[in-house]
Homo-oligomer: A and B are copies of this chain.
Amino acid sequence: MEFWFSQLDTENVKTTVRVEKQLFSGQSDYQRIDVFQSDEYGKMIVLDGDIVFSEADEFIYNEMVVHVPMAVHPNVKNVLIIGGGDGGVAKVLTQYPEIESIDVVEPDEMFISVSREFFPETAKGFDDSRVNIINMDGLRYLRRCADKYDLIINDSTDPFGHTEGLFTREFYGNCSRALHADGVMVYQHGSPFYDEDEAAFRAMHRKAFRSFPISRVYQASIPTCPAGYWMFGFASKKYHPLRDFDPKRWNARGLKTWYYTTNLHQGAFMLPKYVEDILSEEEHRG
């Protein structure tokens, strides 16, 4: 049987994946949620038509948002994950014994229950006793936080639809306030390649750059993302992602990874000229 799911990367480009079965389809209060079994990517979660998680490449995203800040900040105890309903980010964080609490602020209960049902290996990140799930909108939650976290990871989806508020200037300001004086924020920064993504990419850097003393962007090759190329933001009050990076300390932990290495950590910040130019234009905008 020919059975294909297509993700619209732009209105003119699709990533099309052969599907064996649709395992789930539902409409939550926030979004449409589908789960597919595919030959190439294993099981995938699709939110409003976009692949947000696949068994074959989730390791790249999850390792890059966790290990990069953890190899820089010397003393992370309290972490906030905004979004993160699949549990993948929480699962990687639970490998660090010094972390005392992981708050996951995910408004969509259906997303969490679907993840628990179809991705128990990933969602077991939620079962760690340090993890607290808070069913609330991220921006609303942040408004009441001050000086509370060492690390915030914005794992929410695109800056459109119900997560739009998580990409406003108010959001970055609230994250800054919710962090301790040496806190770090990591956020998904979208893809800079296609014209229709570039405006969102520019706006994100402009807002983070003005809300934090240190703001750098890093990259990874993630096949299910548009153009296969994804960026992350590292915004920080004190620590620089390269100057305060401690590869020796991180390597001494002996953590098993499939994507991240301390060598790749450095390379991830070495960006193509066209990306450097975009960032620099936004930094120098009047």
Contacts and interface: CB of A to CB of B under 8 A. Distances in A.
Interface of A: 4, 6, 10-18, 38-41, 57, 60, 193-194, 219, 221, 223, 225, 227-229, 257-261, 263-264, 266-274, 276
A33 to B, nearest CB: 22
Nearest to A15: B15
Given A13-B16, A38-B12, A259 B274 contact: yes
Contacts of A13: 15-18, 40-41
17 contacts: A12-B18, A13-B16, A13-B41, A14-B17, A15-B15, A15-B16, A193-B223, A223-B228, A223-B229, A258-B272, A259-B274, A261-B273, A263-B270, A264-B273, A267-B268, A267-B270, A268-B270
Nearest to A265: B270
Contacts of A268: 267, 270
Nearest to A60: B272
Considering the complex of A and B, which 8 residue pairs feature the smallest CB-CB distances, nearest first? A228-B228, A267-B270, A267-B267, A223-B227, A12-B40, A12-B18, A221-B229, A14-B16
A57 B273 CA distance: 13
A13 to B, nearest CB: 5
A271 to B, nearest CB: 7
A159 B10 CA distance: 31
A258 B261 CA distance: 27
Contacts of A227: 221, 223, 228
A122 to B, nearest CB: 18
A264 B267 CA distance: 8
Contacts of A41: 13
Interface centre among A6, A18, A39, A267 (most CB of B within 10 A): A267
A243 to B, nearest CB: 15
A276 B261 contact: yes
A16 B6 contact: yes
Contact of A194 (B6, B40, B261, B271): B40
Contacts of A276: 261
Contacts of A258: 272-274
